[in-house]
Structure 1
């Protein structure tokens, strides 16, 4: 029986022979992600003439492609050129111009009479090229997991109607996870858990990265052995042990794919390959997936490593856009729905999000959802040096109003620009700094120029945590004018520092802030309402100081990661116990042969 993976061999100076077998867990993941039966997809094999020994999915001179049968597991490419590097991929055709690779061979170099191979027995993603080409930078085009490019992925129009049923392997015949396996270095005092997330420090898109990082540290202190599986777009260390956390960073086979949804599918594929490799030496007690981006991996792993799945939904596509208006948004909505309906253990960060899930996904009222807020970790900060703020337009003898977040429509920074225009006429000593990056950064900068506020409002782009903390320390007021905000970690950060804070009366923000007690609330999208709250602080300094102090005390008592890890631990314990009970009942139903 052929081993799972892909093998290439040169049978003559110009003929390459390929054999392969796609693992069951990859087939299941593909079905879960595309919501199509694998047998209904068009399988294909490609050969690339690559420019170097390492193939990263983009450095190919050309390729040849052939359609293959459903059960076919071998092929031969003929008439190859001598002294060239060749790489082979087996995958599926998503559309006429899109190919989704499932397996990739190592590079083979042809000679006149022989071939030189890399290690061909491993199934792994090849090391990635660090060439900085002109392809899309998803870090700039993604807002809390929403794609803001101008073109839509073609494959989502061809999916048709498909009622997804999670494919469960027969664990008694195929034995994807053998419970009799002896695991090396097993610490029975610490349960091993997997955290699946597409972003993790130092790769930071939004609040999700910091959330998972803080949760991982809190869970480690609760005697869990935490393993984080995440993306590696910035080519960090692939495997790292930091602060007691095991971190594994993976790359999709086509890591430079122009199609974001195809890239995410490839990320899920790379993640599950890494976990299946780790599961040979680790017994994972639980999987915790964060949002739809890693949902296909989580749902497939739930069956293949026989571990319960806990899911945290941080935001929804419906909520970000106030509805579903195009095919791209519908695809993401369906991925969220699939993930929510196929897990028994759901976590959200606010009561607002809990209500949103029930409303958007028509969930049954008896579906249990745990509400556990986000948190922050207050570390001792060193004194602020001049160098930290040297590149930031700090204006002495003026009062700073500061805001930070992804530069996207739902964060409401256009409302802040409108309010700044009005406030500057009343208080000429005010200026505004807005930190963060995102797809609307240039649009907002142009709006500032149109209103002649170049010396008043500054969009400064990405800032480090050190710079952000320095800006908080220098500001008079912090403002978060979001239209949609499931929680609002940056608002918690502001409150924790005792800064007079203004936030929109929406989402999770209104659950955090009590008006005129620990902060002030404004009407979302209303610049006059924001102006009114700013004036309240500026004209009542003693009131502002008292409200700021109340905010700091509230955060210290409610939003520590230690407390949040304690609440999450309760969910984990229930999930693990339920999984054991269900496993026992299944085993009891099996008739002995």
Structure 2
């Protein structure tokens, strides 16, 4: 926890390392890094984000929020539509080499005060920058152990070790929920005093849309029945398969309902097969990746936002739904329990349980007065607790602590424990 005696030492120039940044959006990390960076600029800091390149974007720009964005290529040649790398870990290693080269060049031109590394995908670059004296703060958005309910193969073991070392090397570690605090402390053996819980935030009115609902429903071809919206990566831990498996029960009472799945990922083919086997394929629409305009339209037509995650460190999509006044139904997984108060500002259901999820969705669809009550309380909570201004202020405390304490990094465990882990 940032010590108030040294929290005002004054980090003014911040280097952000993140493998995704808008318009390259793979998951929630891109939006978090973007919003945090822009708010830090509003508070007077100079922020440089070094990230992966994206088709149609410049290598360098100062974006509309005043953030200096540097996009670098992985150190490969592109062959057709595929990168000539054997696997994702190798691709990431080569990307980080390019990121590190660029960051070192920027640091040589004008030194940064602190480096903020987001997740294991930029850990190598962060370690090297720390080795030349740049204080390191990291955010652990999720862990390999949590995503997979254990470590089951060599790739996972490698990622787990990288995450452990990132926690070990950082002067301050930021997590976004009490659930993640417990996970990092228990799994990595990190001292709790080294961890800061700083939730993610949103811009409450960013996804506001004034277009009539009827016009948008026709545009997206969802008919007149209830729209159940999922937003996120199409990966197993997001639990979309549970939503599809719950659909037959929902359709018994609402035969015109449509499930709209906004996102992309490796699990899409499996999800399509699940919809076919459940006999609900005609009621499931795969939207693909959605930009902010798309999302504003989808939230406008949604009768419920469903967040059925099996593993969820935080749940920023739930906040988006709450801000957009969409009744929100979630699982009881991880950080979602920090956000949703059952029957107060949303409905919580048992993770992985299709019957429970169907029950929760039907509670919202069949009780209009409850739905209004939930959305009113949800919007109020977002406005009171999840603004980027407060989140950026707390992040600055972590930066300032790291700058002042750069020669006295709190280590995890003993030196022998460290050598055992990396041996």
**One fold, TM greater than 0.5?**
yes
1:470 Cα deviation after fit? 0.8
1:204 aligns with 2:25: yes
The equivalent of 1:403 in structure 2 is 230
Instruction: Please point out which of 356, 367, 373 is paired with 2:199.
Output: 373
Contact 1:503 1:509 in 2 (8 A): yes
State the alpha-carbon separation in 2 of the partners of residues 566 and 550 from structure 1. 25
1:233 Cα deviation after fit? 4.1
State the alpha-carbon separation in 1 of the partners of residues 174 and 91 from structure 2. 26
Instruction: Please point out which of 59, 69, 72 is paired with 1:250.
Output: 72
Deviation digits for residues 313-371 of structure 1 (CA, Å, limit 9, x no counterpart): 000011010001111111111111111111221000001001011222133x4552000
Deviation digits for residues 489-536 of structure 1 (CA, Å, limit 9, x no counterpart): 111000011211110111000110000111110000101111211222
1:415 Cα deviation after fit? 0.8
Contact 2:11 2:400 in 1 (8 A): no
Contact 1:190 1:225 in 2 (8 A): no
State the alpha-carbon separation in 2 of the partners of residues 248 and 438 from structure 1. 26
Q: CA RMSD in A?
A: 2.0
What does 1:122-521 align with in structure 2 at a 5 Å threshold? Answer: 191-234=12-55, 236-242=57-63, 243-254=65-76, 256=83, 257-304=85-132, 306-363=133-190, 365=191, 367-379=193-205, 381=208, 383-384=210-211, 392-395=220-223, 397-521=224-348
State the alpha-carbon separation in 2 of the partners of residues 437 and 530 from structure 1. 22
1:540 aligns with 2:367: yes
Closer/same/farther in 2, CA of residues 390 and 254 from structure 1, 3 Å limit: farther
State the alpha-carbon separation in 2 of the partners of residues 581 and 447 from structure 1. 53
Which ranges of structure 2 fall in alignment gaps of 5 or more residues?
1-9, 78-82, 410-423
Whichever of the two has the greater Rg, that structure is 1
Q: Secondary structure at the match of 1:227?
A: strand
Structure in which a larger fraction of residues adopt strand: 1
State the alpha-carbon separation in 2 of the partners of residues 389 and 271 from structure 1. 43
State the alpha-carbon separation in 2 of the partners of residues 580 and 333 from structure 1. 26
Contact 1:388 1:466 in 2 (8 A): no
Q: Secondary structure at the match of 1:266?
A: helix
1:236 Cα deviation after fit? 1.9
Contact 1:498 1:550 in 2 (8 A): no
State the alpha-carbon separation in 2 of the partners of residues 218 and 389 from structure 1. 34
Closer/same/farther in 2, CA of residues 190 and 372 from structure 1, 3 Å limit: closer
- Name the stretch that deviates more: 464-473 or 212-221: 464-473
Using the size of structure 2 for normalisation, the TM-score is: 0.88
1:573 Cα deviation after fit? 1.4
Deviation digits for residues 52-90 of structure 1 (CA, Å, limit 9, x no counterpart): xxxxxxxxxxxxxxxxxxxxxxxxxxxxxxxxxxxxxxx
1:231 Cα deviation after fit? 0.6
Contact 1:389 1:467 in 2 (8 A): no
The equivalent of 2:419 in structure 1 is none
State the alpha-carbon separation in 1 of the partners of residues 56 and 369 from structure 2. 49
Closer/same/farther in 2, CA of residues 205 and 366 from structure 1, 3 Å limit: closer
State the alpha-carbon separation in 1 of the partners of residues 233 and 14 from structure 2. 30
Structure having greater relative contact order (Cα 8 Å, sep ≥ 6)? 2
1:384 Cα deviation after fit? 2.9
State the alpha-carbon separation in 1 of the partners of residues 91 and 124 from structure 2. 13
Q: Secondary structure at the match of 1:328?
A: helix
Closer/same/farther in 2, CA of residues 366 and 527 from structure 1, 3 Å limit: closer
State the alpha-carbon separation in 2 of the partners of residues 290 and 344 from structure 1. 14
Closer/same/farther in 2, CA of residues 387 and 366 from structure 1, 3 Å limit: closer
Contact 1:388 1:467 in 2 (8 A): no
Instruction: Please point out which of 364, 385, 389 is paired with 1:558.
Output: 385
1:280 Cα deviation after fit? 2.5
Q: Secondary structure at the match of 2:69?
A: strand
State the alpha-carbon separation in 2 of the partners of residues 493 and 517 from structure 1. 17
Structure in which a larger fraction of residues adopt helix: 2
